[in-house]
Amino acid sequence: MASLLIKGGRVIDPATKTDAVMDLLVVDGRIAERRVPEKGRGAAPDGRVIDATGHWVCPGLVDMHVHLREPGQEHKESIESGTRAAATGGFTSVACMPNTDPWNDGLSVTEYIVAEARRKGMVNVFPIGCVSKGGLGVELAEIGDMVRSGAVAVSDDGRPVGNSHLLRMALEYTKIFGIPLIDHCEDANLSASGVMNEGFVSTVLGLKGIPGASEEVAVATDLAVAAMTGGRLHVAHISTRGSLEKVRRARQEGVAVTCEATPHHLVLTDQSVADSHYDPNTKMNPPLRSEEDRQALLQGLLDGTIDAIASDHAPHHADEKLVEYDEAPFGIIGLETTVPLIVDRCVRKGGLAPARFVELLSRNPARILGIKKGTLAVGADADVTIIDPELERTVDVSRFKSKSRNSPFHGWTLRGWPVATVVGGRVVHELQPVATR
């Protein structure tokens, strides 16, 4: 019987309404027992003991929006490197977007991802299949086949579904399978060739803008179609005040809608494009928005309008990003910076309760995806993330486990880092104390 004792940590598990100092005993990959801390060593004589005194012991974090790039773009990331980055960043499960090469629009790619993740993955991998064949927005993908092979949601992320009739059919299908449709809400005609948020800063910099309305008209369309079908809609990387208001109102009217926000939209604004002198690592889609939008997102975290935080981890090779701002691809990596950014900026400095942090990063994404994760209840899979809320470190992209380095947070000093990650009872990441010499 393989066992692991996690001693003396603050167990934060909203699913069981727990927030207390406890010992957690893991046996054979499951949570076997939760008890008040014992003096001395405690019982796990045959197994390992992790001293979690002063740390948060959370149900394993779930990142519901990552791009693992495999198959086809392994120079950016692979299932192996991406899940290693996830483990280092405190995530025990990731859901990977289908815009690989080829796109994950049928049985064979879904099966490949599931098999490869089983062979080489450090954390649980849940594939997201395409809405449309090849992500082209014309014909529905083989949704049923993909669901039977392990897909937990569908999305054409990287692109919006766009075609409202196709969206309607997709939502009718996904309703039958009980899975959410995740949309990258954007009106391609309004975005045109924009590269950053349309506003004062884009005018000053002379860069072409992407207006907030580009996201908002797509959100409005999607909500209307979701209401008509009764299908479950999840709005990816929501970025504007207007979008958030539409989601809030639709939910009050009974539409089955959830949404996620990214750490970068919560901590940065379009001013970063100017301050960084056109650093391509400030270029992503949706773009960094205004301070007013950012404040609305922070409010949405606190009041429950935002259901989940997801990294939108989007690796690109350094050579691809080292071009002029207009030419650079959209996207930044996030698996290894999400936890410290949210703990430091939103929990420590923004009034977000630790229990709400766990809901946003574990319980809610698990519920949205319909996966049996997000709790430390007795009998649950022993996926555990241990966070030291006092640990201060500086982000150093050269130490990242991801194959890519495209982060705007290099050099930031943040307090609150994951120190151990446990997947199915196995310790897949443990932060070594930095040796002083």
Interface positions with Zn ion (CB under 5 A): 157, 184
Instruction: Compute the least distance from the CB of residue 264 to Zn ion, in Å.
Output: 12
Q: Are 31 and 379 in contact (CB under 8 A)?
A: yes
The tokens describing 262, both together, are 């990214």
DSSP 8-state code for residue 36: P
**Tokens coding 56:** 């948060």
**HEC assignment per residue over 206-272:** CCCEECHHHHHHHHHHHHHHHHHHCCCEEECCCCCHHHHHHHHHHHHCCCCEEEEECHHHHHCCCHH
Helix-helix angle 291-303:241-252, to 10 degrees: 30
| Nearest distance, CB of residue 198 and Zn ion, angstroms | 18
Q: Which is nearer to Zn ion, 161 or 419 (CB)?
A: 161
**Cβ proximity to Zn ion, 184 vs 246, nearer residue:** 184
Nearer to Zn ion, 312 or 344 (CB): 312
Instruction: Tell me the CA distances in angstroms from 72 to 100, 101, 247, 318, 392, one per residue in order.
Output: 6, 4, 35, 17, 37
In the complex, the smallest distance separating the C-beta of residue 332 from Zn ion, rounded to whole angstroms, is 12
What is the torsional sign of CA 427, 429, 434, 435?
A: positive
- DSSP assignment letter at 38: P
Closer of 236 and 301 to Zn ion (Cβ): 236
Decide whether 23 or 222 has the Cβ nearer to Zn ion.
Answer: 222
Tell me the Cα Rg of the chain.
Answer: 21
Shortest Å, Cβ 385 to Zn ion? 25
Q: How far is the CB of 237 from Zn ion (least distance, A)?
A: 6
Rounded to a whole number of angstroms, the minimum distance from the CB of residue 184 to Zn ion is 3
Which residue type is seen at 411? Answer: G
The catalytically annotated residue of 156, 187, 312, 388 is 312
Question: Rounded distance, CA 185 to CA 182, Å?
Answer: 9
Give whole-number Cα distances, 164 to 170, 286, 423, in Å: 10, 20, 40
Sequence-distant (≥ 6) Cβ neighbours of residue 350 within 8 angstroms:
298, 301
303 is catalytic: no
Kindly tell me which of 26 and 185 has the beta carbon lying closer to Zn ion.
185
- Residues annotated as part of the active site: 312
